[in-house]
Amino acid sequence: MERRVTARYPVQFILDFLGQHTVGVGSASNLSTEGCAVEGNLIVHEGWNLELRLYLPGQDLPMEVVAAVQWTKGQKFGLKFLRMEPEQQERLRRFISSLEAGPTH
């Protein structure tokens, strides 16, 4: 069994996905720099690659990412991020840094 190397953070945001003649929407949770868990509106299969648009809280534009489906359980599935542009990686890193810092009041 593969062990996780990066910290995961509980989040809630919407994403769109496209792949294998499938277009869907889901709610993402359990985010890390390497992937996330999703509850989608349809079933995907392990091994599929999906094009994602992540709508991170507090950000105007969605992030575009290519990810692989690592596991599935009904309409829940885990994604491993495969490719994103360097500026998208930086946006994700900054977003996760803000989660590490905790809420600002």
Tell me the domain boundaries of the chain: 13-100
What's the topology of domain 13-100?
Answer: Thrombin, subunit H (2.40.10)
- Per-residue burial over 9-44, b if 16 or more Cβ lie within 10 Å, else e, is bebebebebebeeeebebebbebbeebbbbebeeeb
Q: pLDDT exceeding 70 applies to what percent of the chain?
A: 91
Rounded CA-CA distance 105/90 in Å is 24
Looking at residues 15-38, what average pLDDT do you find?
94
Q: Flag whether pLDDT at 62 surpasses 80.
A: yes
Q: How far apart are CA 23 and CA 42, in angstroms?
A: 9
The whole-model pTM stands at 0.87
pLDDT per residue as tens digits for the range 74-84: 999 999 999 99
Alpha-carbon distances of 70 from 45, 67, 95, 99, 105, rounded to whole Å: 9, 9, 23, 24, 37
pLDDT value at residue 8: 87
